[in-house]
């Protein structure tokens, strides 16, 4: 049996819920309004009640969940009794799609998130440039031209005016395009004669000269190969900043795609006792198979705080950048159908090779053409006679990340192939302002289609794509149940709304399923990890606007408090 599959199965078996416990609980929480996460779906048959008033924690796991009276009987001489005073408690959120290294680096460099126009962007760059050491690259990102007046992309000349001679590369919020200045183009030796790399594009003016807009990773790599990489200390600091942000928003686990060097920095944090967020790290699909094997074998798969999981590949770009691959041209850009990142034959061969040795595959796919490409590759991989999943008769849990626009027949294909739809509902809060213009009145019916996926019995896992969107899960819950902008004044394809229970399940248990961890993560019942959040309101009874403004009072990971809201009164003991 393939060693990676074996370790995954052992992890599931070892962490399966159990009532066996030889020592008293370290902590018992009482007088709470606790949602255990069971029965979020009607077919759930767990003996643990859906709501309890008390939970007991021992050795980082839930020992018991029930009434105050029953759990107080478990008290030992060293057990702490904490009175929740009626506070609402639920399982911690498991964000199924993040880029925590990029998020932290953005916060520590030129943070252009929510800049309202080009002038504000220029001012932030100028302010940062005044203190930068000579020759230093200016980096950062988060800008979104679709919210600016005129919606015009910035140019290298716009950036030249405020960078004081520093080379600069500044990513758009989606990470699929960046604007660079003239100094950066010169450093990378990109000129009018430079051809577009396969699966990417260098925007050019009427004279054929680069405008400064670079689209997709193969072209962005031409710049980044001459940008000094972050030091280990810089990577560590960025990760610490992003993880603190996650914990403050009630996120206790993330499924993440950052650089391999960032994973090594996370290992350092774990060794020093400073890793308080659970991280399931993805590896790059394009990496040679032998290197993938070495990297996955380098860290124990049984480590519940940090380990590697699926392989992440990119089929296309983003709708906001008009690089998402569509089957027909953009309705607001008739000469453009986006940028596919792979030849289908090559993709199929790579997917088959990696599936045969037991890797879980997850493909970024935004446009309907990109989703079709991913499904085609999965179908070919599952037909392989050497596929270890067939030999083990288990579902491989292949995933499509985003799945924003799909073909009408794609829902049935997702279901037939058991492909997980890993989606980010908060994207809709941004994209609804222009998505219909991009897609047109018919194609838009198959976009951000959460209800349709569930109605076709497709597993729906939720995340944020942080830092593309805030890691705040309550924005995602709000978007999922309302499909309205945050002001409540605009609605997008309301037939695709889902219930709050369905959204909570997608953000906890289904996201755990997507990383093969549903046997020990996502619920507050015996044997499950003691990862929970205390909120300032009962979100199961909140109005949509109240839901949107929910605050986290306390975040607990592995039974330990890792975040306390500064405004939170101390819990009584």
CA distance 144 to 112: 8
Residue 26 lies in a domain: yes
Q: Tell me the residue range of the domain where 561 lies.
A: 1-91+523-573
What pLDDT score was predicted for residue 9? 40
Residue 487 lies in a domain: no
**What pLDDT is recorded for position 486?**
96
Q: Give the torsion sign (CA, 8, 10, 15, 17).
A: positive
CA distance between the termini of the chain = 50
Tell me, yes or no, whether 186 lies in a domain.
yes
Would you say 471 and 103 are in contact if contact means Cβ atoms under 8 Å apart?
yes
- Per-residue pLDDT tens over the stretch 405-457: 999 999 999 999 999 999 999 999 999 999 999 999 999 999 999 999 999 99
The answer for residues whose C-beta is within 8 angstroms of residue 505's C-beta and 6 or more apart is: 40, 41
137 and 196 in one domain? yes
Q: Are residues 120 and 84 in the same domain?
A: no
Shared domain for 141 and 217, answered yes or no, is yes
**Spatial CA neighbour of 135 closest among 177, 166, 98, 109:** 166
Predicted pLDDT of residue 47? 84
305 inside domain: no
Angle at 387 between CA 383 and CA 390, to 5 degrees: 80
The answer to whether residues 230 and 105 touch, using CB atoms and an 8 Å cutoff, is yes
User: How far, in Å, CA of 365 to CA of 349, rounded?
Assistant: 18
Residue 56 lies in a domain: yes
Are residues 167 and 73 part of one domain?
Answer: no
* CA–CA distance, 253 with 95 (Å, rounded to integer): 6
Placement of tokens 């289904």 in the chain: 510
401/256 Cα distance (integer angstroms): 12
pLDDT at 46: 83
Task: Provide the pLDDT for residue 24.
Answer: 93
Residue 512 forms part of a structural domain: no
**Side-chain half-sphere exposure of 94, counting CA atoms within 13 A:** 32
- Residues making up the chain, counted from first to last: 573
- Of 175, 198, 224, which residue constitutes the final position of a domain? 224
Into how many domains does the chain fold?
A: 2
Per-residue confidence (pLDDT) for residue 15, from 0 to 100: 39
Q: Show the tokens assigned to 372.
A: 């079709």
165 and 134, same domain (yes or no): yes
- Would you state the pLDDT for residue 3? 37
Question: Can you spell out the DSSP letters for 184-212?
Answer: HHHHTT--TTPPPPTT-EEEE-TTS-EEE
Q: Residue ranges of the chain with pLDDT lower than 50? A: 1-21
- The residue out of 198, 224, 250 marking a domain boundary is 224
We report the CATH number of the domain holding residue 196 as 3.10.310.70
* Contact present, 446 and 405 (Cβ < 8 Å): yes
Q: What is the pLDDT of residue 386?
A: 61
User: What pLDDT is attached to residue 571?
Assistant: 73
Task: Find the CATH number of the domain harbouring 536.
Answer: 2.30.40.10
Question: How high is the pLDDT of residue 572?
Answer: 67
Tell me the average pLDDT of the chain.
93
Same domain flag for 125 and 78? no
The domain boundary, picked from 224, 245, 267, lies at: 224
For position 339, what pLDDT does the model report? Answer: 96
- For 247, residues 6+ apart whose C-beta sits below 8 A from its C-beta are 276, 277, 555, 557, 562, 563
Does 113 share its domain with 169?
Answer: yes
Farthest CA pair distance, the chain: 80
Q: State the CB neighbour count (10 A cutoff) for residue 58.
A: 21
User: How far is 165 from 410, CA to CA, in rounded Å?
Assistant: 49
**Who contacts 345 (Cβ-Cβ below 8 Å, separation ≥6)?**
none
Question: 169 with 216, same domain?
Answer: yes
Residue 61 sits in the same domain as residue 168: no
Token pair belonging to 303: 């480590």
**What letter would DSSP give residue 147?**
G
Domain for residue 191, yes or no?
Answer: yes
The answer to whether residues 36 and 44 touch, using CB atoms and an 8 Å cutoff, is: no
Question: So what's the pLDDT on residue 420?
Answer: 98
Determine whether 569 is exposed, middle or buried from the number of CB atoms within 10 Å of its CB (0-12, 13-18, 19+).
exposed
Distances (CA, A) of 251 to 52, 98, 277, 436, 464: 22, 11, 8, 31, 11
What pLDDT was estimated at residue 77? 95
Structure tokens at 132: 């930068």
Token code pair at residue 560: 């330990």
Closest CA to 281 of 312, 304, 301, 308: 308
In-domain check, residue 213: yes
């Amino acid at each position: 049996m393939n060693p990676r599959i074996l370790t995954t199965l052992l992890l599931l078996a070892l962490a399966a819920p159990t009532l066996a416990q030889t020592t008293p609980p370290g902590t018992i929480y009482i007088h709470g309004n606790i949602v255990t996460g069971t029965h979020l779906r009607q077919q759930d048959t767990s003996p643990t009640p859906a709501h309890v008033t008390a939970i007991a924690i021992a050795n980082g796991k839930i020992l018991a969940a029930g009434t105050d009276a029953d759990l107080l009987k478990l008290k030992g001489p060293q057990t702490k009794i904490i009175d929740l005073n009626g506070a609402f408690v639920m399982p911690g959120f498991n964000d199924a799609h993040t880029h925590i290294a990029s998020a932290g680096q953005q916060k520590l460099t030129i943070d252009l998130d929510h800049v309202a126009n080009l002038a504000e962007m220029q001012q932030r760059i100028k302010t940062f440039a005044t203190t930068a050491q000579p020759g230093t690259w200016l980096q950062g990102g988060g800008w979104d031209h679709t919210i600016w007046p005129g919606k015009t992309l910035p140019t290298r000349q716009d950036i030249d005016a405020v960078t004081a001679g520093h080379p600069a590369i500044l990513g758009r919020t989606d990470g699929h395009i960046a604007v660079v200045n003239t100094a950066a183009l010169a450093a990378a030796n990109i000129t009018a004669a430079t051809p577009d790399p396969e699966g990417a594009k260098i925007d050019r003016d009427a004279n054929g000269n680069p405008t400064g807009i670079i689209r997709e990773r193969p072209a962005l790599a031409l710049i980044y190969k001459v940008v000094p990489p972050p030091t280990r200390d810089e990577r560590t600091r960025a990760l610490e900043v992003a993880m603190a942000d996650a914990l403050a928003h009630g996120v206790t686990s993330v499924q993440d795609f950052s650089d391999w060097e960032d994973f090594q920095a996370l290992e350092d944090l774990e060794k020093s006792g400073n890793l308080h967020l659970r991280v399931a790290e993805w590896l790059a699909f394009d990496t040679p198979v032998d290197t993938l094997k070495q990297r996955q074998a380098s860290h124990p798969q049984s480590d519940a705080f940090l380990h590697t999981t699926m392989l992440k590949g990119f089929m296309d770009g983003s709708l906001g950048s008009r690089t998402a691959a569509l089957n027909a041209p953009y309705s607001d850009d008739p000469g453009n159908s986006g940028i596919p990142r792979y030849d289908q034959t090559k993709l199929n061969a790579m997917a088959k090779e990696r599936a045969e040795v037991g890797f879980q595959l997850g493909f970024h796919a935004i446009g309907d053409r990109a989703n079709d490409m991913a499904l085609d590759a999965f179908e070919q991989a599952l037909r392989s006679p050497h596929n270890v999943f067939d030999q083990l008769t288990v579902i491989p849990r292949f995933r499509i990340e985003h799945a924003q626009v799909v073909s009408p027949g794609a829902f049935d294909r997702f279901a037939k192939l058991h492909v997980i739809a890993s989606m980010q509902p908060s994207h809709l809060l941004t994209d609804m302002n222009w998505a219909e213009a991009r897609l047109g009145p018919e194609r838009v019916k198959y976009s951000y289609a959460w209800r349709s996926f569930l109605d076709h019995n497709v597993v729906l896992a939720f995340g944020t794509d942080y830092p593309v969107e805030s890691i705040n899960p309550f924005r995602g819950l709000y978007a999922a149940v309302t499909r309205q902008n945050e002001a409540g004044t605009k609605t997008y394809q309301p037939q695709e709304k889902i219930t709050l229970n369905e959204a909570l399940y997608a953000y906890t248990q289904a996201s755990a399923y997507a990383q093969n961890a549903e046997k020990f993560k996502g619920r507050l019942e015996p044997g499950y990890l003691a990862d929970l959040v205390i909120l300032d309101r009962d979100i199961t009874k909140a109005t949509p606007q109240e839901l949107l403004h929910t605050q986290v009072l306390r975040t607990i990971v592995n039974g330990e408090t890792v975040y306390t809201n500064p405004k939170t009164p101390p819990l009584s003991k």
